[in-house]
Structure 1
Amino acid sequence: MRNITPAAARLTARLAKPIPAFGAYLPAGFPAPGLDIEILQMLSAAGADVLEVGLPHPHAPLDGPVITAANQRSLEHGTQIQDVFTTVRRAAETTQASVLVMTYWEPVRAHGLRRFARELADAGAAGALIPDLPAAAAAVWAVAARAAGLHNLQFTPRQANDTELSQVTAAASGWLYAPAATGRTGYQGHLDIAALTAFTHRLKRLSDVPIVTGVGISTPELAEQVAPHAAGVVVGSPIVRCLLQHPDSTGVSAAADTAALFADSIHTPVLT
């Protein structure tokens, strides 16, 4: 195995466990600077094994209205990329969770790939997920991530053909992100569990990298249904929605309670 940071190794170890991991997503700087760290600590205490810190970006094609609104609020507070690194560092230092960053490509490109990877690793992150990573930049980013000891977490769109998926999975480490819904984040409609299952089987034929899922897992009941098909389940909009609806201590408590419900549903094995 290639040299990876201790943080990346911890993520690998957690995803290897028989009980799926619960990942909780929160944009850095939301709902306010400093408060994001407190909420991430609460999410970890509520059962989150993985904390996915979002790098706010005004042009986020995967994000639905809930995450978009949270990103906008964070940007209005003046959140910069260095603030994201600070949030990652504090979360990594003060929780038992694995911490990673979800970002779009443009901020990474603008910051510099090697610099971004190095500073992210120094902050204690396990890796980065870049869902809109251009195919032309994938190899260069993979080299930068590998040099920093980070996991090159990969987003795997369900509509991709086997050739495209083979290219993505060959570069991946840490996890493959298989969205449960094909739309944007915050989707609250029906989930085609059979289609998700078939897609995870496709990925397993191509790679032994652990599979996690997210997008459209709007209730703990749905999380319970998808958990047996993945090494981890990531939830964002249901948690963020609590903080948007109640930007005070009520929202923080609601977010923690929501996270605890998802954690229970994902961590509890389904009896068959």
Structure 2
Amino acid sequence: MYDVTSAAARLTDRLAQPIPTFGAYLPAGFPAPGLDIETLQMLSVAGADVLEIGLPHPHAPLDGPAITAANQRSLEHGTQIQHVFTTVRRAAETTQATVLVMTYWEPVRAHDPRRFARELADAGAAGALIPDLPPEAIAEWAVAARSAGLHNLQFTPRQATDTELSQVTAHASGWLYAPAVTGRTGYQGSIDIASLKAFTLRLKRLSDVPIVTGVGISTPELAEQVASHVAGVVVGSPIVRCLLRSPDSAGAVAAADTAALFAASIRPPALT
């Protein structure tokens, strides 16, 4: 294992705990500049161990209607990559949570992967998740992340073959993100828990990197059902919807209240 930043080390320590980690997702610049920081701070107080900050992208293949709309609003506010680094820095400095970035490959490639990783580490992030990282770029990003001391968080598609998963997990650190469903974010139907469990067992045969899940965790009840199979649960669309309905401080309060319900659902009562 390579040397990692203190933020990355904290993520490792948190995921090693017996109580599942709760992560909350929010795009930078949404619902408005400044209010994103306020919301992230409230999400941390509400119980988010991890704040996953999204880098808004106009063509995000994994995102459903809610997060797509949030990204669009953020972009309309003029959010650019440097604003994301600033949001990361302020969230890392003003909350107790570990801060990560979720982005797509194109803005990382355009910014230069080594520069992106270095600036992300300087801002206080623990790592980055790039769900559309192409196979030919896996090694390039791994080198960039390692050189900056970041965790190389990896998205593991449910439909991937063992050979494909082996290529992904070989470079992973921090966590493996195993989606609970095969659709886009914002899915609000039922979850095949047995299928998710089987997938996590596949991953555990290939890697000892902790597994977290997200995508389709639409209710606290579903979060409770999946929590025993993973080291962490990440929730995005239910939080984002609160701010789409009310893009103001009242929406931030509603988002935090929603996050608190999810956090409580995966923890023993004495810890809520």
TM-score, normalising length: structure 2:
0.98
CA distance in structure 1 between the partners assigned to 2:146 and 2:228 by the alignment: 30
- The 5 A counterparts of 1:22-33 are 22-33=22-33
List alignment gaps of at least 5 residues for structure 1. none
The CA distance in 2 between the partners of 1:58 and 1:142, in whole Å, is 25
Alignment of 1:71-220 (within 5 A): 71-220=71-220
Q: In structure 2, what is the Cα distance between the partners aligned to 1:226 and 1:2?
A: 31
Query: Could you tell me whether the CA contact under 8 Å between 2:158 and 2:199 is conserved in 1?
Result: yes
> Distance in 2 between the 1:74 and 1:193 partners?
34
Query: Distance between the aligned counterparts of 2:120 and 2:250, measured in 1?
Result: 32
Local SS of the residue matching 1:171: coil
8 Å Cα contact 2:35/2:248 also seen in 1: no
- Which residue is equivalent to 1:16? 16
> Partner residue of 2:46?
46
How far the C-alpha of 1:268 sits from its partner, in A, is 2.6
Q: Is the 8 A contact 1:22 1:267 kept in 2?
A: no
Partner of 1:232: 232
C-alpha contact 2:31 2:248 (8 A) present in aligned 1? no
Kept after mapping to 2: 8 A contact 1:64/1:186: yes
Q: 2:35·2:249 contact (CA, 8 Å) conserved in 1?
A: no
Question: How far apart, in 1, do the equivalents of 2:103 and 2:249 lie?
Answer: 27
Q: Which amino acid aligns with 1:117?
A: A
The one-letter code matched in structure 1 to 2:244 is L
Structure 1 residue 173 displacement after superposition: 0.2
Map Cα deviations across residues 13-60 of structure 1 (whole Å, 9 max, x no partner): 000000000000000000000110110000000000000000000000
Aligned residue identity for 1:237: S
Q: Distance in 1 between matches of 2:233 and 2:144?
A: 27
**1:6 is aligned to 2:6:** yes
Give the ranges of 4+ consecutive aligned residues of structure 1 lying more than 2 Å apart after TM superposition.
Answer: none
Unpaired runs of 5+ in structure 2?
A: none
Q: CA RMSD in A?
A: 0.7
Identity, in percent, stands at 86
What one-letter code is carried by the residue in structure 2 that aligns with 1:79? T
